[in-house]
């Protein structure tokens, strides 16, 4: 029953914590066990009390549980978090990607597959014909975003619930990538950069 010391203890020069010897009542253990049970009991009745108050519409400001009810409630994701990719469009709606293959080249998971074709606009050389990302292999390193010279690929959709019934279903095609939207008011790092650098 050595492990019940609750005294703060002194920090040794080596960084470890040296605890003093246990008192008699700590060694008896029953008292310490009762104290532990008291803590859990207080939690139990406080939370149950709030649950009942919530049921009748009271004390809404106090939390009875810290659980986030995931699909309905979502936690705030920091703006820099790397989430599902999307391809940004130009003002005319065409993908901003110029098919330079930078992202495909840098991708450590080799999960980007691009087929480029000639762009009808004479000012732009190429455009992607196919642009697939296999999210089943992607490691969400964000290198593709950093490598892109056109700022065409971003990971700011805030979509994290990526699941499919087959491996094939994990492959995102160009259409799906273009359909992604930046998540609401949350600014991505790219958007921040856009604002700073104009």
Q: Distances in Å between the alpha carbon of 178 and those of 1, 96, 145, 172, 186?
A: 62, 10, 15, 10, 19
- Closer residue to other proteins (CB): 49 or 169: 49
- Closer residue to other proteins (CB): 51 or 90: 51
Which of ligand SF4, other proteins, none binds 166 (CB below 5-8 Å, type-dependent)? none
Q: Distances in Å between the alpha carbon of 188 and those of 13, 35, 77, 171, 184?
A: 44, 48, 10, 23, 10
Q: Distances in Å between the alpha carbon of 18 and those of 9, 21, 64, 196?
A: 6, 10, 37, 51
Which of ligand SF4, other proteins, none binds 56 (CB below 5-8 Å, type-dependent)? none
Work out the burial of residue 142: count CB atoms within 10 Å of its CB; fewer than 13 is exposed, 13-18 middle, 19 or more buried: middle
Contacts with ligand SF4 by CB under 6 A lie at: 97-103, 106-109, 111-112, 114, 133, 138-144, 147-148, 150, 152-153
Which of other proteins, ligand SF4, none binds 103 (CB below 5-8 Å, type-dependent)? ligand SF4
Choose the stretch contacting other proteins; rule: CB under 8 A; options: 30-38, 94-102, 116-124, 165-173. 30-38
- Closer residue to ligand SF4 (CB): 22 or 82: 82
- Closer residue to ligand SF4 (CB): 22 or 138: 138
C-beta of residue 153 within 8 angstroms of C-beta of residue 87: yes
List, in sequence order, the alpha helices (H) in the chain.
24-28, 30-55, 102-106, 143-147, 174-179, 189-197
In 62-103, DSSP assigns E strands to: 86-87
Residue 96, CA atoms < 13 Å, CB-side half-sphere: 14
Which of ligand SF4, other proteins, none binds 36 (CB below 5-8 Å, type-dependent)? other proteins
Residues 47-106, interacting with other proteins (CB under 8 A): 47-48, 51, 63-67, 69
Asked if residue 160 binds other proteins (CB under 8 A), the reply is: no
C-beta of residue 177 within 8 angstroms of C-beta of residue 133: yes
Asked if residue 33 binds other proteins (CB under 8 A), the reply is: yes
Instruction: Give contact residues for other proteins (rule: CB under 8 A).
Output: 1, 3, 29-30, 33, 36-37, 39-41, 43-44, 47-48, 51, 63-67, 69
């Amino acid at each position: 029953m050595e492990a019940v010391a609750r005294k703060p203890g002194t920090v040794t020069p080596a960084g470890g914590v040296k605890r003093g010897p246990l008192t008699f009542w700590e060694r008896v253990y029953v008292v310490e066990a009762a104290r532990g049970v008291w803590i859990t009991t207080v939690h139990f009745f406080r939370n149950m009390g709030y649950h009942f108050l919530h049921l009748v519409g009271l004390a809404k400001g106090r939390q009875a549980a810290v659980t986030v009810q995931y699909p309905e409630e979502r936690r705030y994701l920091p703006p820099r978090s790397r989430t599902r990719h999307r391809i940004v469009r130009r003002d005319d709606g065409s993908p901003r990607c110029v098919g330079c293959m930078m992202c495909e080249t840098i991708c450590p998971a080799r999960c980007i597959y691009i087929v480029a074709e000639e762009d009808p606009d004479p000012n732009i050389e190429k455009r992607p014909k196919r642009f697939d990302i296999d999210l089943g292999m992607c490691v969400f390193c964000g290198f593709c975003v950093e490598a892109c010279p056109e700022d065409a690929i971003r990971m700011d959709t805030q979509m994290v619930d990526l699941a499919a019934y087959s491996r094939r279903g994990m492959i995102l095609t160009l259409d799906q990538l273009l359909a992604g939207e930046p998540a609401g008011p949350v600014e991505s790092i790219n958007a921040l950069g856009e604002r700073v650098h104009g």
